[in-house]
Amino acid sequence: MRYKSIDPDLFRKNREKLEKKLKPNALAVIHANDEMPRNGDQCFVYRQNSDLFYLTGLDQEKCILTLFPNHPVEAMREIVFTVRTNDRMVTWYGHKYTLEQVTEISGVKNVRWLDDFDGTFRDLMARAEFVYLNQNENPRFTTEVPSRDLRFMQQLRNDYPLHAFERLAPLLTDLRMVKESEEIEMINRACEITGDAFGRVLNFVKPGVLEYEVEAEITHEFLRNGASGHAYPPIIASGVNNCILHYNQNDQVCKDGDLLLLDFGAEYGNYAGDCSRTIPVNGKFSPRQRQVYEAVLRVLRKASRMLVPGTTIDKYHAEICKIVENELIGLGLFSREDVERQDPENPLFFKYYMHGTSHFMGLDVHDVGSKQHPLRKGMVLSCEPAIYIPEEGFGIRLENDILVDEEPVDLMAHIPIEPDDIEALMAR
């Protein structure tokens, strides 16, 4: 693996927290993600099911975790099943986990080959009353591809119709929202690598470079520092492209006088960083660009201080929208009188700021969590206010990752963001 080994105590703690939430005499089952076919004989690069990684630290396909905290036999309370390796598999595909390595990584003592799953599972089901099954319940997620967890769920409902089935996702969502210290360390490292990449970009960008050349510089720095790659498809948007929220063509020329919006983050140990910066292609903000930039920066400063225990993303975002509204008035984009006459259901600010300010972060860049859930100490959220003015040919978004606390901690405070600092670094 590229990242440093994670203490298996983290995964033991995570399993213990989940086990306490299960009903008595309950069995929980969590599968690894499928290997997704690409074309020909190729698969897409493998990415582990975040829930399984959270509970085991295992980064390999074809793994299954079963949890049965009340089983009378201690050895049967936690079991990991993994694919049986052989010499041919090693020759063609490389090393796979041994049973001993699974224990070393996860802390689970009872590790068996996948061949043993069906028989062992029948024995577990014979004792279980409740069965907790997992699936991706992210409200923004839709797919036509049935996951391994979903196929397994459908099979069990047919094979064991008299068992009571429960949802595992709400329990794991509640647990994953609050990060342990080991998780914060991984996110911190992802943020550090992201900052290194931004420094490289500041020394590289100039009129005439292509957006994908900038992406290549970021990718180089990520891989050089042990990241698995990008936590999500990067946005490298120059000129009016930076008014497209999820632009990722990254194929245009960066022109003199334009701004370049960068939304990117490293993935380290399966944990994500998420950063946005907007820089002048020629190394110097125009007066109007600087005026808008400083407005967005003021919003970021205020917003990041508001990510404290007890608030909710919905309430917090409503306050941020008021702040953005005042900044837009200051920028001359509409007047106070216009605001007083506006349709409350279609506020004027929405033309220039149409997305949320924060999302949960962790094993996924848009991590599990509810916008109505009160924030708790130890959560990590993005903070990404923006102002987009397509009629003026540019938009500006700034984003840092914030650790929720009584005094919120900016995990990206080391990454340059002041306009004077940006210009000075680009002038070197």
Would you say residue 147 has pLDDT above 90? no
Residue-wise pLDDT tens digits, 29-70: 999 999 988 998 888 888 999 999 999 999 999 999 999 999
More confident residue, 153 or 10: 10
Q: Which pLDDT value is given to residue 221?
A: 98
Q: Mean pLDDT, to the nearest integer, of 239-264?
A: 97
Query: Which carries the bigger pLDDT value, residue 347 or residue 91?
Result: 347
pLDDT: is 10 or 345 the higher one?
10
**Given a cut of 90, is residue 145 above it in pLDDT?**
no
| DSSP sequence for 359-395 | -B-SSSSS-S--TTSPP-TT-EEEE--EEEEGGGTEE
In CATH, which of 3.40.1440.10, 3.90.230.10, 3.40.50.720, 1.10.10.10 is domain 181-426? 3.90.230.10
Distance CA 231, CA 267 (A): 5
Q: What is the pLDDT of residue 149?
A: 87
pLDDT at residue number 139 = 76
Percent of all residues in the chain with a pLDDT value above 70, rounded to a whole number:
100
Active site residue 95: no
Contact 177, 360 (CB under 8 A): yes
Catalytically annotated residue among 122, 157, 220, 246: 246
Catalytic annotation on 274?
yes
Q: 298 an active-site residue?
A: no
Range list of β-strands (E), 3-63: 26-31
In the chain, the percentage of residues whose pLDDT exceeds 90 is 87
The angle formed by the CA atoms of residues 43, 44 and 50, to the nearest 5 degrees, is 120
* The pLDDT of residue 1 is above 90: no
HEC secondary structure over 143-155: CCCCCHHHHHHHH
Q: Are 208 and 28 in contact (CB under 8 A)?
A: no
pLDDT at 55: 98
Q: What is the mean pLDDT of the chain?
A: 95
Residue 208: how many other CB atoms lie within 10 Å: 11
Does the pLDDT at position 248 exceed 80?
yes
- Topology alike, domains 8-176 and 181-426: no
pLDDT at 386: 98
Q: What is the mean pLDDT of residues 225-253?
A: 96
| Catalytic-role residue among 97, 271, 316, 388 | 388
CB 22 within 8 A of CB 68: no
Residue 164, H or E segment: strand 164-167
Given the residues 61, 183, 399, 410, the one annotated as active site = 399
The active-site residue, picked from 217, 397, 401, 410, is 397
| Residue 7 is a catalytic residue | no
Q: What is the pLDDT of residues 280-308, one digit of tens each?
A: 999 999 999 999 999 999 999 999 999 99
Number of DSSP helices (H) and strands (E) in the chain, helices first: 13, 17
Q: What are the residue boundaries of the structural domains of the chain, listed by start?
A: 8-176, 181-426
pLDDT, tens digit (0-9, with 9 covering 90-100), for 316-335: 999 999 999 999 999 999 99
Could you confirm whether 163 is annotated as catalytic? Answer: no
> What stretches of 231-274 adopt beta strand conformation (E)?
235-238, 259-264, 266-268, 271-272
In CATH, 8-176 is 3.40.350.10: yes
Would you say residue 241 has pLDDT above 80?
Answer: yes
| 397 in catalytic set | yes
Q: Per-residue pLDDT for 408 more than 90?
A: yes
Catalytic residue from among 12, 355, 392, 423? 355
Q: Would the pLDDT of 138 be above 80?
A: no
Task: Report the distance separating Cα 282 and Cα 255, nearest Å.
Answer: 8
pLDDT of the residue at 36: 87
pLDDT at 40: 87
From the list 47, 290, 366, 373, the catalytic residue is 366
Rg (alpha carbons) of the chain, rounded to whole number: 24
Question: Is 9 one of the annotated active-site residues of the chain?
Answer: no
Task: State whether residue 230 is helix, strand or coil.
Answer: strand
The DSSP output letter for 43 is: B
Verify whether residue 384 is a known catalytic residue: yes
Please give the pLDDT value at position 16: 98
- Which of the residues 263, 364, 367, 410 is marked catalytic? 263
Catalytic residue among 148, 359, 367, 410: 359
Amino acid, single-letter form, for residue 99: L
Global pTM reads 0.94
**359 a catalytic residue:** yes
Identified catalytic residue from 221, 274, 325, 401: 274
**Per-residue pLDDT averaged across 394-419, rounded?**
98
